[in-house]
Amino acid sequence: MYELKKLYRDDAGATAIEYGLIASLVAIAGIIAFTAMGDSILTSFTGITEGFCVAIGGDFSLTDDGIDSCTLS
């Protein structure tokens, strides 16, 4: 009987569970933030790619599936 009471009052694993919950909440927040920023990141990288392409004298185009190409004249 004493061992059951001791086992019931033991809270040694509680801290690990709390840290696990905090880590999962941080991961969920990161996923939501990266998903929300996806379009703006794509726009930024497309602009950078276009700038490089134009700088070397090429013509830049972006297809419907998001694949870009730089054709040199």
pTM summary value? 0.48
Task: State the Cα–Cα distance between residues 70 and 73, nearest whole angstrom.
Answer: 10
Domain range summary for the chain, segments of one domain joined by +? 12-72
End-to-end CA distance of the chain: 86
Which residues, including other chains, have CB under 8 Å from residue 11's CB and lie 6 or more apart?
none
* Each residue's pLDDT tens digit, 14-72: 788 889 999 999 999 999 998 899 888 888 888 898 898 889 888 888 777 767 788 88
